[in-house]
Amino acid sequence: MITRQLIEQIEGEASVYFDIKEKKVNFATVTFPHFRGMESILEGKNALDSLVISPRVCGICGHAHLMATVRALEDAYKNAGCEIILSEKAEKIREFTLIMEMIQNHFKWLYIVIIPELAKLTNSILEKKPLKGAYAASLAAKAIAIFGGQWPHSSYMIPGGVTCDPTQIDILQAQNHIDELISFFERESLGIALDKFLSFESCKDFNKEIQSDITLLEESLIVADMNHKGLAYDRFIVMGEHDFTHVAKLKQTRAFGVDSKYVSTVEAYSPQENTYAYNALYKDEYYETGPLARMMSISLPIIKNMHRRYKDSAYSRVMARVFEIGYMLNYAKELLQNIDILQESVVNVADIKKISASGLGIVEAPRGPLLHNIEIKQGIIQNYKIITPTQFNIGSSTIEKPTSVQIAMKGTTKEDALFIFRTFDVCSVCTTH
Amino acid sequence: MHSKQDNKPRLLWLQGVTCNGNTHSFLNLPYLPLLLDKFEVLYYPAMEALHSFEEISACKLSCDVLIFEGAYDPLMKRNGVFMKEMLAHYAATAKHIVAAGTCASFGGMFKEAASHRNSGILFNEEEMNGPLLKHKKRIINLSGCPIHPEWMGYTLSMIANDQTVITDELHRPVELYSNLAHHGCTRNEYFEWKVDTKGFGQKEGCLFYEQGCRAPMTHASCNKILWNEVSSKTRIGTPCFGCTEPDFPRTELFQTKTNMSIPEDVPLGVPKRSYLTMAGIAKTFHIKRLEGKLIDYKTTD
C-alpha cells in the first residue's frame, strides 16, 4: 500500500509516497507540487536584471543564485570575446559572502531541522532550540550585509566585480561578526575551541566527557543507528570552482575530473501526484552533492575517517555538514584577513547590449552545485536554465534506477526514512524554481 | 515557539507563491525571541510551531493575526487545499491581516509567474481589487522584497500592545513608509550637487543619474533602519530597485531611464521643472572635494 507523507519546513513542501513492505520502505517517490517559472520570468529581460531576479529563486540561498548568475554573465562576456579578469579583492569578497550564506543555512538546518527531528526519533536528551539557529544565522547575515547591503536578496555582484568599496572599518566589523559567531559556535554548539574541533582526525575524537549540542547530536546519531543507515551510492560530485573545495566526482574515495557538459536533467517520476521537479544526473548516473561531497573532495582526515567507518551514511552526511560550519568559519576569517581594500572593486566591462553569447555559471551553494545557464542576444535574455543541488540529491525516479535519496531511504522504517530525507537538507523552492 | 498560553494573540503565517525570503528575513530580527513570546504561534513556515500544516490546511482552526507571504494565485493549492479557501477561512476571523512582502502586498515578483491571475491579497499593483477586499480595514501591507525584519517587528509589536498602526493609501504603516529610501543615504551630498558615481564599486557619487537608483521615488526606511543592523543597498553601491512600490519589479534595473539626458522620473513630489532648474544650477558648480576620492589612503610623511 502506498501512503503519503507531507514534508514541511523544507523551504516549501514536498510529498513522499512510501511503499512499505514488512514495516520497511520498499520504495519511495518524491513530489514537489509548487512551481513559479523563474526561468520564463527571466526570459526577455535585460541580462543585468537577472542579478535582481535570480536571488528571488530562494529565500535561504539566494546569494548563491546571485553568484551563479554573475558567473554565467561573465562567462557570456568571455564567450563573446570580452573576457573579464576580476580583482583579487572582488573574488575574495564574493567568496566571503557566499560562505557566510552557507554558514547561515547550516546553522538553521542544524537547530531548526536536524536536532528537533533527531530528538523526535530517538527520544533523546537533545534539546530543541531552533532560535539558536536563527540567532547564529542572523550573525552570518550581518557579515554578508556589510558587503552586500542586505541579506536576503542582495544584488551586489555585477559583471566585473562587486558594487561595494569597503573600508578597513567594514572589514573589522565583519571580522567582529565572525569572531562573535565563532565564539557562539564554540560556546553553544561545540563545547570546545574551534581550533581543537578542526584538529579532529577521527570520529573517536568527539569527546564524550564534554556534553555539548554537537556531542549529543553525534551520540544520538549512533543511538539511532544512523551510522549504518541512509547510505546512498557512495558517489559524490562537486562542480563549483572555489578555493575551499575541489571540483571532482568521487566514486567512493577515487576522484575523477568533471565536465559540466555531462550534466543532464530528466522529468521526475511521480505517479501519485503532479510534480514540477526534474532530476539532475551526471553521465546518466545519480550523485550526492553538498558538504559531505565537498569535504570528501578535499580529503579532510576526519571526513576520511568517518567515511572509512560509516561510508555515506546519514551520520556522515550530518556530521560533515556540522564540520563544514567550523571549516568555513575558519576559512572566512582567513579570507577577510587577505582583502586588500586598495584594489579595484570592479573592472570596466563592455555594455551588456553588445553581448550576444551563452554563458554558464556554476557555484557551490549550501546544498551543492548550482548551475545557471544564460543565453543572451544583444543584452537580452533569450534562454535561462537553472539546475539546483536538490535536483541532484532528491530526485524521484523509478524503482529500477533510484536516485540518491531513494536509495538512502530504502530498507529503513518510515520514521527513519523521514529523518534520512532531511539529512540531505532539502530545498523545495530551488528544486522547481 | 511551542508554548501555549492563554490571552496571547494566535499568529498564523501562510504562504502563496513565494521564495521564502520574507520568512528568512524575519528570522534576522534581533529581538525575535522576545517578540515571539508575545504570540501563540500556530504555524510558521520555517520552524516547528503549535500545529502541523496538515492541521492548518484542514481549516478547522482560527487565528487572531494572519500573515500572508507571497503572491496570491487563485489556482494554487498547498497540501491539496486551495490557498484561496485557506486564506478566506483564516481571514474571516483574524483581527489583523498582514501582507508580508511586495508579492503579498501588490503581486510583486511572483505576479510575473502568472501575471493575468496573480496579485497581492488586497492590491493588484496599485488597484485595490484583491481577494481580501472585503477585509480591507484589517489589512496592513508590509511591502519590500523581502520585508525588512524590523518592519514586521514593529507591526507585530504594535498589534501585541494593542496599539493602532496608521497606514497610507496603499495600507502601509506611515511610520515605516513615509520616509524615502533616499533619506539617510550616505551619498546624499553627491545627490545634492549632482555628482554621478563613476561606475560601480565606488564610495563616491550618486547612483540616481545613471545606475537606475529609485531611492528618491521609493517609500521605504532602508537607510533609516539599516538592513541586518549594518547597511543598505545604496550604502554599498547598489542602486535601490524600488522594491517596496507597487510597480516592482520594473525592467532595466541597473540603468536610469532618461529623455535627452534628463531622468524620466524625478524625486517624489518635486515638479520636474523645479528639479531641472535646481539640478542645472547645481551642475554649474565644480566642487573639487566631491569630484575626488572620499578617502585618501596615501600615507603622510
Across the range A266-277, mean pLDDT stands at 96
pLDDT (tens digit per residue) in A45-64: 999 999 999 999 999 999 99
Question: Are B131 and B87 within 8 A, CB to CB?
Answer: yes
Give pTM, 2 decimals: 0.97
Q: Is the dihedral of CA B292, B294, B298, B300 positive or negative?
A: positive
pLDDT (tens digit per residue) in B78-87: 999 999 999 9
pLDDT (tens digit per residue) in A355-399: 999 999 999 999 999 999 999 999 999 999 999 999 999 999 999
Across the range A242-247, mean pLDDT stands at 97
Tell me whether strands B10-15 and B65-69 are parallel, antiparallel or unpaired. Answer: parallel
In angstroms, the separation between the Cα of residue A199 and the nearest Cα of chain B is 32
DSSP string, A134-146: HHHHHHHHHHHHH
Contact of B32 with chain A, judged by CB distance below 8 Å, is answered with yes
- Please state the ipTM of this predicted complex: 0.97
Which chain A residues contact residue B75 at CB under 8 A?
A: none
DSSP string, A306-360: HHHHHTT-HHHHHHHHHHHHHHHHHHHHHHHHT--TTS-SB-----GGG--EEEE
Which chain B residues contact residue A386 at CB under 8 A?
A: none
pLDDT at residue A311, rounded to an integer: 98
Model confidence at B215: pLDDT above 60: yes
Across the range B37-47, mean pLDDT stands at 97
Tell me whether strands A235-238 and A161-162 are parallel, antiparallel or unpaired. Answer: unpaired
pLDDT tier at B299, thresholds 50, 70, 90: confident
Question: Which residues 171-200 of B have a C-beta within 8 angstroms of A?
Answer: 199-200
pLDDT at residue B5, rounded to an integer: 54
Which chain B residues contact residue A11 at CB under 8 A?
A: 20, 46
pLDDT at residue B110, rounded to an integer: 97
In angstroms, the separation between the Cα of residue B140 and the nearest Cα of chain A is 22
Q: What is the CA radius of gyration of chain B?
A: 22
pLDDT at residue A236, rounded to an integer: 98
Give me chain A's average pLDDT, please: 97
- Grid-cell match 511551542, residue found: B2
How large a percentage of chain B has pLDDT more than 90? 94
How large a percentage of chain B has pLDDT more than 70? 97
pLDDT (tens digit per residue) in B227-256: 999 999 999 999 999 999 999 999 999 999
Nearest to B249 among A53, A112, A160 (CB): A53
Contacts of B75 (CB under 8 A, 6+ apart): B82, B114, B117
Q: A59–B24: do the CB atoms touch at under 8 Å? A: yes
Question: Are B244 and A164 within 8 A, CB to CB?
Answer: no
Give the CATH class of B180-291: few secondary structures
Model confidence at B1: pLDDT above 70: no
Mutate to test the interface with B, among A96, A106, A164 (most CBs of B within 10 A): A164
Contact of A242 with chain B, judged by CB distance below 8 Å, is answered with no
pLDDT at residue B262, rounded to an integer: 87
pLDDT at residue A1, rounded to an integer: 86
In angstroms, the separation between the Cα of residue A324 and the nearest Cα of chain B is 21
pLDDT at residue B301, rounded to an integer: 66
Nearest to B199 among A56, A167, A346 (CB): A346
pLDDT (tens digit per residue) in A281-302: 999 999 999 999 999 999 999 9
pLDDT at residue A105, rounded to an integer: 98
Contact of B253 with chain A, judged by CB distance below 8 Å, is answered with yes
Across the range A313-329, mean pLDDT stands at 98
pLDDT at residue B265, rounded to an integer: 96
Give me chain B's average pLDDT, please: 95
Contacts of A81 (CB under 8 A, 6+ apart): none
Contacts of A7 (CB under 8 A, 6+ apart): A13, A14, A15, A16, A418, A421, A422, A426
pLDDT at residue A255, rounded to an integer: 97
Model confidence at A73: pLDDT above 80: yes
In angstroms, the separation between the Cα of residue A133 and the nearest Cα of chain B is 10
Contact of A87 with chain B, judged by CB distance below 8 Å, is answered with no
Phi, psi of A300 (to 5 degrees): -65, 135
- Fold of the B10-177 domain: Rossmann fold (3.40.50)
At residue B256, what is the residue type? T
Per-residue CA distances from A404 to A2, A14, A237, A265, A427 (Å)? 20, 16, 12, 15, 15
Question: Which residues 84-103 of B have a C-beta within 8 angstroms of A?
Answer: none
pLDDT tier at A123, thresholds 50, 70, 90: confident
A292, with CB counted inside 10 A (0-12, 13-18, 19+), is buried
Nearest CA in chain B to A130: B47
- Which of A94-103, A205-214, B163-172 shows the lowest per-residue confidence on average (mean pLDDT)? A205-214
Question: Which residues 254-283 of B have a C-beta within 8 angstroms of A?
Answer: 254-255
pLDDT tier at B23, thresholds 50, 70, 90: very high
The architecture of the domain spanning A2-432 is Orthogonal Bundle (1.10)
Question: Are B11 and B41 within 8 A, CB to CB?
Answer: yes
At residue A71, what is the residue type? R
pLDDT at residue A157, rounded to an integer: 98
Across the range B87-94, mean pLDDT stands at 97
pLDDT (tens digit per residue) in B151-160: 999 999 999 9
Nearest CA in chain A to B23: A59
Nearest CA in chain B to A131: B33
Query: What is the C-alpha separation between A47 and A78, in angstroms, rounded?
Result: 15
